[in-house]
Structure 1
Amino acid sequence: MLVSQETMQPLHFSYKTQTNKLHIASLGLALVLLISLVSHTNSCAEHEKTSLLQFLAGLSHDGGIAASWQDGTDCCKWEGITCSRDRMITNIVLAAKGLEGPISQSLGILTELQHLNLSHNSLSGGLPLELVSSSSMIILDVSFNQLNGTLNEMPSSTPARSLQVLNISSNLFAGQFPSTTWKAMENLTTLNVSNNSFTGQIPTHLCKSSPSISVLELYFNKFSGSIPPALGDCSKLRMLRAGHNNLSGPLPDELFNATTLEYLSFPNNGLHGAIDSTQITDLRNLVILDIGGNKFSGMIPDSIGRLKKLEELHLNNNNMSGELPSALSNCRNLIMIDLKINHFSGELTKVNFSNLPNLQTLDVYLNNFSGTIPESIYSCSNLIALRVSSNKLDGQLSPRIGDLKGLSFLALDTNSFRNITNAIHVLKSSGNLTTLLIGDNFKGEIMPDDDTIDGFENLQVLDIKNCQLSGQLPQWISRLTNLEMLLLNSNQLTGPILGLISFLPFLFFMDVSDNRFTGEIPQTLMEMPMLKPTENAIHLDPRIFELPLYNGPSLQHRVVSSFPTVLNLSHNYFTGVIPPQIGQLKMLVVLDFSFNKLSGHIPQSICNLTNLQVLDLSSNNLTGAIPAALNSLNFLSAFNISNNDLEGPIPSGGQFNTFQNSSFDGNPKLCGSMLTHKCDSAEGHQAVILPRKQSDYKVSFVIAFSAFFGVGVLYDQLVLSRYFGQFTYWFMKTRSY
């Protein structure tokens, strides 16, 4: 049958339409499948989400991350989480989030996790071995937490791991430090285990198993034994810090083969021996050398001058001796020189300090240096802190000291300097001075009281004690408007004490004991602003000493405000009564009016001084009874009213049960259970006993304070004690309380 062409056309059109419809349908199906597939791959793996949620569930405090970590959402978008292109978790960064609780071992199943940072939280418990032994982990940082326990050894058969950075510093880890774990850490570049309590020896084969190690930080632990000679095989080691441990022996010769070292630090151990004059030059890249606080002896070798990159030299607190080598002048990049507490001698002028333009700190405290302060030191225009205390230096201060425009800390005390008038006049131009310690010099001279003395506008601490200076308290001191501490004790100053001192707005520490001051205690002293609670709370100076001040071998002060509040007028000739307004000075910690000629009663208002720890009113002419309410001074630990004419019963209970009998000697009219003179019933009735409710309050308060004090001591040990330096600074008179 023949079909016309017209008849065929519609049939042909119909075929094309059907084909196009099929193509469109196929494309739509493909798009649906693609969208479905993309939607699935844009979410993190379910098992990895579960791992994170297990970690979150184990925390006792999540720091708010739970608001982001919601089941049913894509965990790759959660706070602190980063994923790879294939939606696998690679980074967890949750530093300083306030997290508390254990680290779940579930994080160990994240097979592509490369970077885990949980530092600066309050995490506790152990460190899961699954994290340390992870085959994918590159950076693991759990520093500054409260993790504890021991680090488990990894089996010696463990394959090589990818870990490059391990930081577990500032935790509570203890026990034997692992020795075999590091055999699997062939890629390790940084190991920081500082500030824990690890024991045992430093691993001897660390450099062999981890040839790329460049940073090794072991300080503040309990490592013992000698320094492993094999550390010299660390061909890439730049930083080696192992201070504050129990290491002993000499620096091994092999250590000087680590020629890439830039930072070598072993302070406060038991190391000994001399610095090798030839091998030290091999460490030509050294920037910081810190071996202070050991038992090193001998001289500083001339070869020290070949360390051209040296910026800090810490040889303090050793047994080193001899003169300083002139070659020290060749270390032109020096910023700090710390030689304190050794046996160095000779003249400082052997070093040409004008070759050290970057020098900021020079500390030669407690040596045997003689002669004068070298003129070349005044060319160090960047000098901030200069301490030459406790040597045998003499002469007068050069006017050129005014060239040190940035000088903030100057300690010249305990030498044989002369002409205090000249010293004050040349120093007044040092506008940046905050700490000036010039006591125990200028013996037998006259305190300068020139009306032209001004300046010192930034001075916070002024120490002119133990000079046997005569004269009166000078007016210029009352113009030191930023002064916080004033020490004029152990001189021969006479006349009345200036009430103007009380108007120094920030003064909280005043010691004018062991002088010859006369007259009554000025009423204006009872208005000292910083000893009143409101003003004291307002003024909290954050500035730190350029060099730490010490009271004795263990208590160090980095900030002025760390000193106690003190008012010490003892060993003078003050007369009259103790002003009753004394009770306004509620921030006082030490009050000492002993060895004067004060009369009258002990004012009842002293019982308002609830922060008092030391109260000494001994060797006066005081009369009347001991205020029974003194029993409420919960912090009072030293109390002395001996050698007066007091009478009546000694309060019982509380702190009074802790004071020695000698605290009451020389008062024949006193009675009490601890004295030979017992009180009769009438006298005993006068001693007010605290009611039960108030006594319970006292007990609770003391317990709370003890807990607070314990935390403070721990903080002092972990933080403050890490700072270098030592300087005996007596903030009370030398006799012990």
Structure 2
Amino acid sequence: MEKTTQQLHASSNRKPKTLQVSLLSVALVLLLFLASPVCSCKEEEKTTLLGFLDGLSQASALNTSWKNDTNCCLWEGVTCNEDGTVMDVSLASRGLEGHISPSLGNLTSLLRLNLSGNSLSGGLPPELLWSSSIVVLDVSFNKLSGEFNKLPSTHELAMKVINISSNFFTGYFPFATLDGMKNLATLNMSNNSFTGKFPSTVCVDKPFFVVLDLSYNQFHGGILPELGNCSILRVLKAGHNQLSGTLPAELFNITSLEHLSFPNNHFHGKLYPEHLVKLSKLVVLDLGGNSLNGEIPDSIGQLKMLEELHLDYNNMSGELPPSLSNCSNLTTFILRRNNFHGKLTNVNFSTLSNLKILDFRLNKFTGTFPESLYSCSNLVALRLSLNRLHGQFSSRIKNFKSLKFLAFSDNNFTNITNTLQMLNSSTTLSPLIMGGNFKHETMPDYDTFYGFKNLKGLAINDCSLYGNLPNWLSKLKLLQALLLNNNQLSGPIPAWINTLNFLFYIDMSNNSLTGDIPVALMEMPMLEKAKPDKIFPDTIVFWLPVYFTPFLQYRTTSGLPRMINLGYNKLTGVIPPELGQLKELLTLNLSFNNLYGEIPESIGNLSNLQVLDLSYNNLTGAIPSTLGMLHFLSKFNISNNDMVGPIPTGGQFSTFPDSSFVGNPKLCGPTLAHHCSSTDAAAVPVVTSTEQHIDKVIFAIAFGIFFGLGVLYDQMVLYRYIYVGPVCFNYNRQQ
């Protein structure tokens, strides 16, 4: 028994030894593998790469890696093949500055060169374009510039991908020089300033050519029928140019097209059903921002793979074809600013379960909100503003669990109380734009309100609503913009306004608000000067552009001006001097109220102020000279008050028209009917800068000391004459 136990013990001791031997073997193999020599790069190629390094700025991030005494195959961004020949230089987004050296063209085995996303400047060496080895050339997103001179038309080049997008290239591109690139598959020249006509023959003798992107340039003229020869083209983009004419029928012969994008050009004409039906593989169709007319062809329903349809900013009309219900893969559907009419119920939206963005703003649709649209539970952005829809929303609006952007302003919807009650349960909604509806209803107030957890912007303007500012607004703690203008709201501005810590855009103009301007409004955190512990709201990128005027749109909340607009109300009292705390304010409008008293000098502290309108009040006193320190003030109006004295001169005041001051008969100025006299001029103190003030204080102190010494000297002299008879006698008599 004892022997058996010893044998087992010995056996158990042998197992770890076996394992140790196995691990040692593996370690030796790995050591041999790691110790195997890496192929050294060729000396002439190292010299070529160092020549490229010399063309970069001294602060290049490559300086620590690219050393002359090291193997260039181990340098950052450099890849060699098994015999040490450089085949790949990939230096995307490395913060490189300087020029691209032509010496890179000497790398005879280089297959890929990627220098995108840097700050390289100067021209693109032609040696790179006519390289016999480079397959992929990507210098996009740099600061390269200049024109392309005619390049040699060589044959049998290996180039497959050319990406020179997002630079500053100009002039005509010699497309004929690409003739020798028989293998070319992708040409991206977008976001430059190239000119000339559309290159309709660029794909000739290029059996692999699938991507052509000429967007954001200055190409002009029409599209020639020869483009139809690009039989395997899959992506064709030429938006934001000066192209014109009609879309040739031959264009629709490219049945391989998956992405057709010509937005913001000058195309006109119609979309013919027999043409459109040929593009059965189309995934993206973007023809927005042109002058197309006519209807959407019913044949569009046969584009079963269509995911994005952009026809915005055209002159198209007619009713929506019911066949759109067949485009079940549709995710983005934008018809903004056309003349479409009819009822939205023509389309069965319940089959479009993938729909995420729908924008029908500024058309002539009628009828009620389509019941089938409530089935699109994946909607993220929905806009139906500026149509002729009516009725009430169904409780099924709660199905929009993912909705972040909702705008249905300027229709004829009713029942604001139910609408808000149904929507407030949303936890995703960020801007809610619903003005121009609910005419002459009452602003609802609720006893309990816990909704709109993520609401950043709320617009209930142009509704002629009655009632007071409801307390539930104080629950919207993330609110950044509040538009309640053009209603009939009454009562005071509540003191809880300053508890909305992120609110910076306030428009309550054209209501019937009464009472004083609360001091709480002068304590808005986002309008006060930034402090180290200040928390700023997250910038919100709108899913669709937000329009505050027909020609003014915003894509982010950070673009909105910091504004308080209380014009056209019935506010009384004085302008709080605490106003000077709002140093981030850009626009202040208190016009058409019943304010009285003087304009507080503290307004001079609003160093960022651009617009100040205090017209049509009962303000008195002089124009504070501190306003002359507002160097960004571009619009100023104090007309129709009871101001006195001269208009300050110099600075921004020299740019304001007389209409900014009319209706103040006691004001005077060189361009007004009442010219200033010397008495008027003395009535207004002169603004001095801090340095001027300090200089005057120093002068006063010095003058006081000098005067004091002078008096002391006189006393000493008089003291000497007291002991002289007649003088002393005369002096004593004067006492």
The alignment's TM-score, normalised by the length of structure 2, stands at: 0.87
Amino acid at match of 2:507: D
The offset of 1:220, in angstroms, is: 0.3
> Bigger shift: 448-457 or 76-85?
448-457
Contact kept in structure 2, 1:61 and 1:99, CA below 8 Å: no
Name 1:674's counterpart in structure 2.
671
Supply the distance in 1 between the matched residues of 2:36 and 2:485 (Cα, whole angstroms).
81
Aligned to 1:472: 468
Shift in alpha-carbon separation, 1:486–1:691, aligned structure 2, 3 A? closer
Q: 1: CA distance between counterparts of 2:477 and 2:503? A: 9
1:299-310 equivalent positions in 2, closer than 5 A: 299-310=295-306
The 2-side partners of 1:492 and 1:540 are apart by 30
Structure 1 unpaired stretches of 5+: 1-37, 696-737
Find the partner of 1:145 among 131, 142, 145. Answer: 142
Aligned residue for 1:284?
280
1:587 and 1:40 mapped to 2: Cα distance? Answer: 64
1:269-668 aligned within 5 A: 269-534=265-530, 538-552=535-549, 555-668=552-665
Q: How does 1:15-26 map to 2 (within 5 A)?
A: none
Cα deviation, 1:320-368, whole Å, max 9, x if unaligned, reads 1000000000000110110110000000000000011111111100000
* 1:76 pairs with 2:73: yes
Whole-Å separation in 2 of the counterparts to 1:485 and 1:499: 18
Cα displacement (A) at 1:679: 2.4
Cα distance change, pair 514–554 in 1 and its aligned pair in 2 (3 A)? closer
Report the Cα distance in structure 2 between the residues aligned to 1:109 and 1:615, rounded to whole angstroms.
64
The alpha-carbon distance between structure 1 residues 302 and 39, as it changes in their structure 2 partners (threshold 3 A), is closer
Offset at residue 300 of structure 1 (A): 0.6
State the Cα distance separating 1:471 from its structure 2 match. Answer: 1.3
One-letter amino acid matched to 2:225: P
Per-residue CA shift, 1:564-583, capped at 9, x if unaligned?
Answer: 01111110010000111111
* 2:561 match: secondary structure: coil
* In structure 2, distance between residues paired with 1:181 and 1:124: 23
2:454 aligns to what SS in structure 1? coil
User: Alpha-carbon deviation of 1:440?
Assistant: 0.8
The Cα shift of 1:584 comes to: 1.1
Change in Cα spacing, 1:552 to 1:161, as seen in structure 2 (3 Å) is farther
Query: Which of structures 1 and 2 has the larger relative contact order (alpha carbons within 8 angstroms, sep 6+)?
Result: 1
Distance 2:134 2:652 in 1: 58
* Secondary structure in structure 1 of the residue aligned to 2:530: helix
> 2: distance between equivalents of 1:369 and 1:668?
52
Alpha-carbon distance between aligned partners in 2 of 1:230 and 1:694, rounded to the nearest angstrom = 74
Checking the alignment, whether the CA contact within 8 Å between 1:62 and 1:98 is kept in structure 2 is no
- 1:160-184 CA deviation, whole Å, 9 max, x = no partner? 2111110000000010122211201
Q: Would you say 1:118 and 2:121 are equivalent positions?
A: no
Aligned-pair Cα RMSD in Å:
2.0
Match of 2:104 among 99, 104, 107: 107
Counterpart of 1:688 in structure 2 is 686
Distance 1:694 1:324 in 2: 70
- 1:185-218 CA-to-partner distances (Å, cap 9, x unmatched) read 1111111100000011121211113221111111
Q: Is the 8 A contact 1:540 1:561 kept in 2?
A: no
* Aligned partners of 2:130 and 2:152 also within 8 Å: no
Once the two structures are overlaid, the 10-residue window that deviates more, 555-564 or 620-629, is 555-564
Q: Is the 8 A contact 1:405 1:430 kept in 2?
A: yes
**Contact 1:652 1:687 survives alignment (8 Å):** no
Unmatched 5+ stretches in structure 2: 1-34, 694-735
Provide Cα deviations, 1:450-488, integer angstroms capped at 9, x if missing partner.
Answer: 324441121111111111111111111111111111111
On the 8 A contact 1:155/1:180 being kept in 2, the answer is no
Matched, 1:239 2:248: no
Cα deviation digits, residues 57-111 of structure 1 (max 9, x gap)? 1222543211111122222222111122222211111111111111111111111
Contact 2:426 2:453 in 1 (8 A): no
Does 2:250 align with 1:254? yes
Length, aligned pairs only: 657
SS at match of 1:519: strand
Distance in structure 2 (CA, Å) of the matches to 1:97 and 1:690? 50
Task: Give the match's secondary structure for 1:278.
Answer: helix
C-alpha distance in 2 between matches for 1:257 and 1:87: 47
- Aligned mates of 1:384, 1:61 — CA distance in 2: 48
Q: CA deviation at 1:428?
A: 1.7
For residues 179 and 690 of structure 2, the distance between their equivalents in structure 1, rounded to whole angstroms, comes to: 65
- TM-score calculated relative to the size of structure 1: 0.86
Q: Is the 8 A contact 2:502 2:537 kept in 1?
A: no
SS at match of 1:206: coil
Alpha-carbon separation, structure 2, partners of 1:42 and 1:439: 70
SS at match of 1:216: strand
> Partners in 1 of 2:690 and 2:233 — Cα distance?
66
Residues 355 and 39 of structure 1: is their aligned pair in 2 closer, same or farther, counting only changes over 3 Å?
Answer: closer
Deviations 1:99-151 (A, max 9, x none): 11111111111111111111111111111100000000111111011111112
1:41 offset after TM fit, Å? 9.8
